Structure 1
Amino acid sequence: MPGKMIVCIFVMVAGLLANQVMAANSWPVPLHMPDFERPQSLRDAPWPAQISVRILVRRDGSVQFVEVVEGTDPEFIAIARKAVEQWRFQSWTPPASSPEGEVIRVTVNYGETEGQRQSLAHNVKLKKVLCHQLNEQVRKRNAWWLPRRSSDPSVFEQTERYLSHDPMIRTYLSDAQRQDLVVALLEARADIIARCKSNPASRYVDQLPEKVREAI
């Protein structure tokens, strides 16, 4: 991985070309990825800065735990296995070299500050956002008498961050492809706001450009 990046998690797939053009559903989009929970018995014990696991993501999105990378502690292995066995992804099309599924390395980094952390399945949260929530954010941002909270990013900012930095997307899409998604989001911003204003009970993601929606 070029350079040194501070991210909540990163994913590496051996042998995958960074500039390979991927079609819709050609990478495993998270549906449910609960974090590794520290058990009560380890609340005061040393906790590793990061935990790396290798998992098999099958074609149907189901997951098989393979191993903890560079870790032999039975308790940490049990923690990782318990979390991974609950992970689920959308069905996808694996590469031709492994049509039934692909082994992926996922690293959860616990060295981040709370503000820098991002959910293992941040896209799932975005899918739950309703238009009336975006409408309220827009109203508050446009109200000059209300202070803006820099620690409370807007839905658009969260979406842009997901498209730019989500570990799955970074693994399967090139910089140019991710930038293209961000540009499509920004160019559609006014239309998204207008549609959400007209349909406050609808889902925010349903108002996004098709290629952006497919990535989420």
Structure 2
Amino acid sequence: MPKPVYPEGMSNLRGHARISLNLHNDGSVSDVKVLNATHPAFAEAAINAAKLWRFKPWTPSADMPAIIDANNDMIFAPQNDITIPFQKPVTAVVSQTCRALNDEVAQWRHDQPSRPLSAMRSFALVHAYLVLPVLSGSIEYPASLSATDDFDNVLPEIVRKCRSQPKGRFIDHLPETVRVRL
């Protein structure tokens, strides 16, 4: 997954681009489109990087179709000086009570019954925060992948534990590999 290249001549602007793309079971990528971007140059850089991405191939099944629609956010900062724009929101999210998380899960399941929990705001923010250091080169992709996999694998357990312990906190149920990065 090549990182996007910060466009030259951007006067040290920070920004982002959100893209959509199709992942194919052979590991290839197609239909890369920009959903929104803070600057057209960031949009172009995001598309150029995503078109080069390759993923581990898989065998299509009922759970893993041959083509998966995906979205990705790319953060741009000059000279690889990426600040963590998600730090305050992520801190607030993981510090929230399980009762608040339970309410968000219930609303998500009501409003988005066919979407995975990993796409819910609180979980998506944590996920983005875990991946962001890869863009700056401060962490290698395999280490980031390990933390995000750990997080994704415990989402159902986090939901169950929070349901049974509404006075607890979301952060108390995170895997250690995730907690140390927060």
Larger radius of gyration: 1
TM-score scaled by length of structure 2: 0.48
TM-score scaled by length of structure 1: 0.41
Structure with bigger helix share is 2
Greater relative CO (CA pairs within 8 A, separation 6+): 1
